[in-house]
Amino acid sequence: MPTEGSPRPGHVAVLVATFNRRETTLASLERLLGPASSGLELSVHLVDASSSDGTPDAVAAAFPEVSITQVPSDHYWVATMRAGFAPAIADDPAHLLMYNDDTMLDDGALTRLVEAATELTRRGDGPGIVTGTLCDAATGEVTYGGILQDPGLRTRMRFRSHVRPGTEPLPADTLNFNLALVARETYRAVGNLDGAFTHSMADLDYGLRARAAGFPTWVAPGLHGTCSDNPEKVAWQDRSLSRSERLAMVRGPKGLPPREFALFCRRWGGLAWPVLAAAPYARLVLSS
C-alpha cells in the first residue's frame, strides 16, 4: 500500500492521556523515554484532563521534551486521546504508539515492538497494529494486550481471552491500547478513535475497524512490561453490591453505557446484535 514520502524508520509518536496520578505518570515516562526505547526517536504527546495534582507541571519539569495539551476535566479517556491524535501524527511518524500512563515498560520493550512490526511488514504480514503484552507486577497474570473475539453466535460480544505471547508474533482479533504500536499506513486509513464512545470499547472498536480495513493486529513475542488490571472494568459484575449499585455502574461511562454498547454490538455482533446488546443488562436485572 504505497504512500507518499519516506517516514524516518525509528520515529515513534507516543500518545498518552493523563489524569491525577502524577507519580505513576512520571515513573512510566521515565521508563518509556529511557531504557525501554533505546535507539528510537520518540516524540511524546501527553494530553491531560486538567489534573488537580500538578501532573502537567511535574511532567514539564522532568521531561521538557514532552508536548503537553490540556483538556477539560470532564473529558474521559476517549475524548482526551482524540484531542491528541492530530498533533501526534502531524509529523507523519512511522508509528503511533497508543500508551497508558500506568504502563511500566521493560528494558528494550518499545525497541522490540518496533522490530517486530518491521519484521512483520518485511514478510508481508503488515503494516497493521502490533501490541505488547503486559502483566500484573504481583501475580504475573496477563492483563492487557492482544484479544480474541469469541466466535459463537451468542457469545461474540465477549472479548476476554488475551493472546499469550510466544516466541513468534501471534494474530489477535483486536487489542487493548495500553501498549499498541499503530503503523503509519494504518492510522492514516483508520483515523482517530471513535468519539461515539466515552471511555471503554473504543480500543476494541479500533482494532476491529483496522481489521475490517485490511490491517491486522499482531501480538509481539514475549512480555513487555507491567500494568495492573483496572478493577473498574468489571465492578458492575460484583455480586456483593446491590442490584441498584450494579445497574448504576454498568450504565455509567466506565461500564457499558447502553447506547454505546448497542452501537458496538450493531457494528460487530452480526444479525443477532439487538439480543447481544440487551443481554448484559437483562442478566444483571435477573441476577440475585
Given this model, what pLDDT does residue 147 score?
97
Name residue 178's amino acid: N
pLDDT value of position 244:
75
For each of the chain's 288 residues, which pLDDT tens digit applies? 334 444 466 799 999 999 999 999 999 999 999 999 999 999 999 999 999 999 999 999 999 999 999 999 999 999 999 999 999 999 999 999 999 999 999 999 999 999 999 999 999 998 999 999 999 999 999 999 999 998 877 778 888 789 999 999 999 999 999 999 999 999 999 999 999 999 989 999 999 999 999 999 999 999 999 999 876 556 666 666 777 777 777 888 888 899 999 999 999 999 899 999 998 888 787 775
Reported residue count of the chain is 288
In three-state secondary structure terms, 226 is strand
For the whole model, what pTM was predicted? 0.92
Q: What is the SS3 assignment for 57?
A: helix
CATH topology of domain 11-229: Spore Coat Polysaccharide Biosynthesis Protein SpsA; Chain A (3.90.550)
Half-sphere exposure of 88 (CA within 13 A, CB side): 31
Residue 276 DSSP SS3: helix
Residue spans of the domains in the chain: they are 11-229, 234-286
**Cell output for 137:** 507486577
> 96 forms bridges with which residues in the sheet?
13, 182
The answer to whether the peptide bond before residue 127 is cis (omega within 30 degrees of 0) is yes
